[in-house]
Amino acid sequence: MTSKTDNLLATLKLQPVVPVIIIDDAKSAVPLARALVAGGLKAIEITLRTPAALDAIKAVADEVEGAVAGAGTVLDGRQWDLAVKAGSRFIVSPGAGTSVLDAADQSDVPLLPGTATATEVMTVRDRGYSVMKFFPAEQAGGAPYLSALSSPLSGIQFCPTGGISLKNAKDYLSLPNVICVGGSWVAPKAMVTEGNWDGITKLAREACELLG
């Protein structure tokens, strides 16, 4: 677990925000990822919420130099296997179901398991995890909630995701138990649809400069 944790931390520490993106058309994955990497955001979470997601992960993993492709919204062992075969170098789940945790135990690919309560954090901690996703961050209590957890659960580090934007990201990043945040604002759906890759690079660079 230690080596996988180290690998995950190395990925999450690449940047202050991990883009959380939904790909409707796999053809947009490579130019989108290149735009994000050009702006300084190398680790990219592609969520398994569309039929194009696995093809998108494979394309980014195979074709985008500097990108660290990960799979998000992984719900079970079957999806885990598909995501890893596609080239995912890290896996993110919205929660911490037994199927996902069991798949992670059998894999060299690191998992960022989702938690939202102190009990969930402790349960996942018992499985050997010290780095977790806090989701949905804003709806589950936001930065004040994570701040309250920092003392009693001092050994746990988080990547909050859900409702985070450039406006409130610093509230999270200022906490001692937050490594980075996850957010979709750096790759707005409208810009992806339009193919506005320069605009996405600008947003990515802005995030790195203002939050790094």
Catalytic residues: 45, 133
* Residue of 85, 86, 38, 90 lying closest to 64 (CA atoms): 38
Torsion angle, alpha carbons of 98, 99, 102, 108, to 10: -130
User: What single-letter amino acid sits at 101?
Assistant: L
Compute the distance between CA of residue 190 and CA of residue 73 in angstroms, rounded to an integer: 21
Answer whether 123's CB lies under 8 Å from 96's CB.
Answer: yes
Compute the distance between CA of residue 109 and CA of residue 103 in angstroms, rounded to an integer: 10
Q: In what order do the strands lie in the sheet with 17-21?
A: 111-112, 90-92, 68-72, 43-47, 17-21, 181-183
